[in-house]
């Protein structure tokens, strides 16, 4: 069990929160408010309260719709059901094996598909579909795995098909994994099922709710991007400054050395999926790097590390340096250090950083990091899988920058090529990911779910533009998103229906200062002209993190504009406009060649 | 554990569940006597008792209970 508190005390806390939500909630008042509907054929009254508690702990406010007992189909298939009035952003379908009434996995997926289709009529909805913990009873005994027609094989196949065939607005809640993790013999509680129709043992209500919360967080931009590691006794056994690069223990024939190597292997796997790696260590830089270069037991190489900070400064200052250098916020960094004193320093002086409680035994490092759920993303995109490569190419790029006489020459020498065009279906997950992850280069910080973007793509009053970039060193993929509103969508915001409103403009900070924004603006201008627009209107909504784009529209040649809706300055939006008719196409094309 | 002691602990659980420090529980008390004693509260009471006394009830045992007195007797039997 991951949750160590007893369920009866958790229920008491959750009940208290449910009774007096406004007073008891700890998530900030301005935190995103998640509207989530929970539908199930078993009893969920306790689950919904626990879920609200779990979301609150994670910093999210929520409103929860609780489906009728035994009423999944009723709630979904009846157009007049209160579910549709509730207008959820997320619908969670919590199921168990007893919900499966058909004989084949294909039929089950088909009948779930009918429910998903119907639910997808809710604008912007994301569906969390649980898979099915395989039951532990085996009518065929040890032969259950011998035949594809056995009951065990049926549930395994359904679970596999769910993973394989779910549409992009359906995310799978992996209860099969969770039940296996805690032990199925404990997960299934027949007494609770027959007595009060609990779908699984109440002991795991919190674990299940936390799993849902982990899926919700990245939808609201709450994700970590970087793993920041200590070196001595974290990545290897020993102290490189004293033991020397060959004296530290990473011996595959030694139990401790093997455990450290396994941990490095896990970290390497994180890096391969797009987690940025950084080092924050008290060491001489040369000594520390020597271990990477010379010790044959090292699994990680210097090329895996995007920012290497080894010196005698305090770790909090190094952490700020790392955040600045990588262009990411402190609150997207995860810190892993075997030394509790250093962890305490980071907790105190770098409050946004996620600090992992590192156990004393190296053999449990992987489990601590893995079960922390620190790297929950809404998707893994091709860009993520290429990220480390990009950071490596950065070094070569820096070398080039040192050669170039001035910045302009440098940009020219990069031989950048790019495109800015309507986002394609296949790019949707990455488009959504970038919109939800970008905090710094983000003009309005509006978050959209995949499903919402999909409906905007179909709507002629919207244009969703994706910018892709490559240079001589690497292929960045999709690095900037722009969403434009025109016609009645612009009108709804108080503008003319001949205006184009820039609803979203965000960009990955990996490609700052490359002229990507000038390049993309040409396309925005063309789009405006093609739509017969008279003005392009941009808005800047300041947040704690997006100060870098405060002067963005002014730099592009926009002029400050009065808010047509709010004459009162205190409530007025920060608006800028660009007259399309008066001006010729922006002449400056930058150094990016159009693909 | 004596029946008095069990009853004392049960009373504490009831007072906590219904958030009422003056609640008096007797052998004959049943769901009809306490306004908030609904099916949800019932689940919570059973969970709290299981945790308090470190035991698990089965469906027959729970189904047969008519009042708090029988609950105390059941716990006593199971602890014996």
Same domain, A233 and A189: no
Let me know: does A539 contact A444? Beta carbons within 8 Å: yes
> Could you give the maximum distance between any two Cα atoms of chain A, in Å?
80
Q: In terms of C-beta density within 10 A (0-12 exposed, 13-18 middle, 19 or more buried), how is residue A476 classed?
A: buried
Same domain, A57 and A183: yes
Q: Which residue has the higher pLDDT, A404 or A124?
A: A124
CATH code of the domain in which B49 resides: 1.10.1200.10
pTM confidence score: 0.77
Q: Which has the closest alpha carbon to A593: A420, A329, A416? A: A416
Q: Which residues contact A84 (CB under 8 A, 6 or more apart)?
A: A122
For residues A479 and A420, what is the distance between their CA atoms, to the nearest angstrom?
10
Number of domains making up chain B = 1
Q: Is residue A563 part of a domain?
A: yes
Summarize pLDDT for B25-52 with one digit per residue, the tens. Answer: 999 999 889 989 998 899 999 999 999 9
Same domain, A448 and A523: yes
Same domain, A180 and A98: yes
Summarize pLDDT for A490-532 with one digit per residue, the tens. Answer: 999 999 999 999 999 999 988 888 889 999 999 999 999 999 9
pLDDT at residue A550, as a whole number? 92
Tokens (6 digits) for A355: 């600090």
Rounded average pLDDT over A371-376: 94
Q: Is residue A401 part of a domain?
A: no
Let me know: does A513 contact A550? Beta carbons within 8 Å: no
Rounded average pLDDT over A2-15: 84
Same domain, A476 and A498: yes
For residues B50 and B57, what is the distance between their CA atoms, to the nearest angstrom?
7
Summarize pLDDT for A383-392 with one digit per residue, the tens. Answer: 787 776 676 6
Same domain, A42 and A157: yes
For residues A574 and A502, what is the distance between their CA atoms, to the nearest angstrom?
13
Give the three-class secondary structure for A151: helix
Same domain, A134 and A268: no
Q: Which of A371, A399, A427 is the last residue of a domain?
A: A371
Let me know: does A262 contact A268? Beta carbons within 8 Å: no
Q: Please say if the pLDDT value at position A588 is more than 70.
A: no
pLDDT at residue A240, as a whole number? 95
Q: Is A46 on the interface with B (CB under 8 A)?
A: yes
Let me know: does A241 contact A468? Beta carbons within 8 Å: no
Q: Is A4 on the interface with B (CB under 8 A)?
A: no
CATH code of the domain in which A236 resides: 3.40.50.1000
Q: Is A202 on the interface with B (CB under 8 A)?
A: yes
Q: Which residues contact A136 (CB under 8 A, 6 or more apart)?
A: A184, A185, A188
Cα A258 to the center of its chain, rounded Å: 32
Query: Range of A254's domain?
Result: 226-371
Same domain, A322 and A345: yes
Same domain, A348 and A412: no
Q: Is residue A109 part of a domain?
A: yes
Nearest to A195 among B40, B48, B62 (CB): B62
Q: Please say if the pLDDT value at position A587 is more than 70.
A: no
pLDDT-based confidence at residue A589 (cuts at 50, 70, 90): low
Same domain, A52 and A180: yes
pLDDT-based confidence at residue A572 (cuts at 50, 70, 90): confident
Q: Which residues contact A4 (CB under 8 A, 6 or more apart)?
A: none
Q: Please say if the pLDDT value at position A559 is more than 60.
A: yes
Q: Is residue A292 part of a domain?
A: yes
Rounded average pLDDT over A422-441: 91
> What sign for the dihedral angle of Cα A420, A421, A422, A424?
negative
Let me know: does A139 contact A152? Beta carbons within 8 Å: no
pLDDT-based confidence at residue A445 (cuts at 50, 70, 90): very high
Tokens (6 digits) for A120: 């997808």
Summarize pLDDT for A22-77 with one digit per residue, the tens. Answer: 999 999 888 889 999 999 999 999 999 999 999 999 999 999 999 988 789 889 99
Q: Please say if the pLDDT value at position A132 is more than 80.
A: yes
Q: Which residue has the higher pLDDT, A595 or A157?
A: A157
Token match 């935190």: residue?
A31
Give the three-class secondary structure for A469: strand
Let me know: does A64 contact A40? Beta carbons within 8 Å: no
Point out which residues pair with A380 in neighbouring strands. Answer: none
Token match 């025109």: residue?
A486
Contact B63 A195 (CB under 8 A): yes
Rg (CA), chain A: 26
Number of domains making up chain A = 3
Contact B48 A8 (CB under 8 A): yes
Q: Which residues contact A531 (CB under 8 A, 6 or more apart)?
A: A463, A486, A500
Average pLDDT taken over every residue of chain B = 91
pLDDT at residue A487, as a whole number? 93
Rounded average pLDDT over A157-161: 97
Kind of pairing between the strands at A170-173 and A354-355: unpaired
Tokens (6 digits) for A374: 């620190």
Same domain, A42 and A170: yes
Query: Range of B25's domain?
Result: 3-79
For residues A545 and A328, what is the distance between their CA atoms, to the nearest angstrom?
10
Rounded average pLDDT over A251-280: 95
Q: Which of A371, A399, A434 is the last residue of a domain?
A: A371
Query: What phi, psi does A161 have (nearest 5°)?
Result: -65, -30
Q: Please say if the pLDDT value at position A1 is more than 60.
A: no
pLDDT at residue B64, as a whole number? 84
Rounded average pLDDT over A132-161: 96
For the ranges A211-225, A228-242, A561-575, the lowest mean pLDDT is seen at A561-575
Query: What phi, psi does A467 have (nearest 5°)?
Result: -105, 125
Percentage above 90 pLDDT, chain A = 75
Cα A571 to the center of its chain, rounded Å: 32
Rounded average pLDDT over A321-340: 93
Contact A8 B57 (CB under 8 A): no
Inter-CA distances, A492 with A334, A423, A449, A462, Å? 41, 24, 21, 13
Nearest to A194 among B42, B44, B59 (CB): B59
Same domain, A155 and A256: no
Q: Which residues contact A568 (CB under 8 A, 6 or more apart)?
A: none
pLDDT at residue A69, as a whole number? 81
For residues A263 and A361, what is the distance between their CA atoms, to the nearest angstrom?
11
pLDDT at residue A32, as a whole number? 86
Rounded average pLDDT over A445-469: 93
DSSP string of B16-61, one letter each residue: HHTT-TT----TT--TTTSTT--HHHHHHHHHHHHHHHT----HHH
Tokens (6 digits) for B67: 């009042």
Contact B40 A45 (CB under 8 A): yes
CATH code of the domain in which A198 resides: 3.40.50.1110
Helix, strand, coil fractions of chain A, as percent rounded to 5: 45, 20, 35
Q: Is B19 on the interface with A (CB under 8 A)?
A: no
Contact B44 A45 (CB under 8 A): no
ipTM of the shown complex: 0.88
Q: Give B55→chain A minimum CA distance, Å.
A: 13
CATH code of the domain in which A554 resides: 3.40.630.30
């Amino acid at each position: 069990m991951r949750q160590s508190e007893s369920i009866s005390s958790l229920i008491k806390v959750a009940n208290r929160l449910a009774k007096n939500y406004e007073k008891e909630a700890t998530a900030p008042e301005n935190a995103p408010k998640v509207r989530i509907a929970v539908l199930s054929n078993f009893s969920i009254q306790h689950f919904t309260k626990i879920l609200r508690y779990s979301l609150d702990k994670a910093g999210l406010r929520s409103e929860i719709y609780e489906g009728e007992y035994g009423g999944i189909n009723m709630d979904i298939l009846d157009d007049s059901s209160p579910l549709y009035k509730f207008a959820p952003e997320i619908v969670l379908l919590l199921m168990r094996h007893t919900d499966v009434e058909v004989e084949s996995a294909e039929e089950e997926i088909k009948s779930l598909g009918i429910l998903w289709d119907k639910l997808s009529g809710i604008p912007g909805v994301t569906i969390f579909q649980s898979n099915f913990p395989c039951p532990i009873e085996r009518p065929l005994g040890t032969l259950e795995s011998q035949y594809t027609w056995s009951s065990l094989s049926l549930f395994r196949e359904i679970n596999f098909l769910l993973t394989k065939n779910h549409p992009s607005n359906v995310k799978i809640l992996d209860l099969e994994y969770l039940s296996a993790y805690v032990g199925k013999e404990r997960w299934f509680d027949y007494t609770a099922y027959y007595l009060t129709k609990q779908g699984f043992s109440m002991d795991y209500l919190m674990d299940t709710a936390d799993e849902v919360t982990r899926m919700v967080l990245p939808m609201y931009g709450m994700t970590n991007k970087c793993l920041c590691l200590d070196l001595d006794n974290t990545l290897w056994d020993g102290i490189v400054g004293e033991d020397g690069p060959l004296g530290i223990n990473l011996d595959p024939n030694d139990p401790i050395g093997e455990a450290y190597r396994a941990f490095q292997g896990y970290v390497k796997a994180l890096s391969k999926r797009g987690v940025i790696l950084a080092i924050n260590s008290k060491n001489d830089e040369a000594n520390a790097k020597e271990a990477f270069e010379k010790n044959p037991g090292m699994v990680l190489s210097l090329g895996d590390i995007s920012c290497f900070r080894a010196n005698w400064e305090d770790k909090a200052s190094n952490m700020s340096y790392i955040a600045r250098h990588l262009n990411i916020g402190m609150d997207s960094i995860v810190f892993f250090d075997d030394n509790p004193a250093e962890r305490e320093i980071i907790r105190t002086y770098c409050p946004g950083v996620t600090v992992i409680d590192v156990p004393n035994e190296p053999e449990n490092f992987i489990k601590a990091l893995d079960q922390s759920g620190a790297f929950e993303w809404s998707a893994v995109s091709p860009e993520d899988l290429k990220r480390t490569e990009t950071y490596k190419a950065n070094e070569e790029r820096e070398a080039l920058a040192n050669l170039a006489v001035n910045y302009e020459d440098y940009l020219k020498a990069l031989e950048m090529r790019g495109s800015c065009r309507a986002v394609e279906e296949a790019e949707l997950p990455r488009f959504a990911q970038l919109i939800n992850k970008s905090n710094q280069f983000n003009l309005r910080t509006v978050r959209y779910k995949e499903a919402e973007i999909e409906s905007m793509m179909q709507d002629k009053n919207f244009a969703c533009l994706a910018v892709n970039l490559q240079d001589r060193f690497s292929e960045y993929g999709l690095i900037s998103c722009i969403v434009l509103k025109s016609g009645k969508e612009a009108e709804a915001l108080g503008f003319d229906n001949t205006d184009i409103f820039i609803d979203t403009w965000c960009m990955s900070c990996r490609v700052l200062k490359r002229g990507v924004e000038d390049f993309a603006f040409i396309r925005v201008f063309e789009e405006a002209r093609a739509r017969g627009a008279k003005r392009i209107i941009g808005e800047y909504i300041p947040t704690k993190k997006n100060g870098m784009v405060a002067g963005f529209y002014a730099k592009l040649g926009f002029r400050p504009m009065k808010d047509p809706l709010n004459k009162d300055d205190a409530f007025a939006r920060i608006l800028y406009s660009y007259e399309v008719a008066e001006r010729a196409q922006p002449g400056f094309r930058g150094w990016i060649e159009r693909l | 554990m004596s029946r008095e002691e069990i009853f004392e602990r049960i009373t504490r659980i009831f007072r906590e569940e219904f958030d009422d420090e003056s609640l008096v529980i007797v052998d004959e008390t049943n769901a009809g006597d306490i306004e908030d004693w609904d099916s949800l509260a019932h689940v919570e009471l059973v969970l709290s008792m299981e945790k308090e006394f470190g035991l698990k009830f089965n469906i027959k045992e729970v189904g047969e209970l008519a009042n708090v007195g029988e609950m105390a007797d059941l716990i006593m039997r199971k602890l014996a």
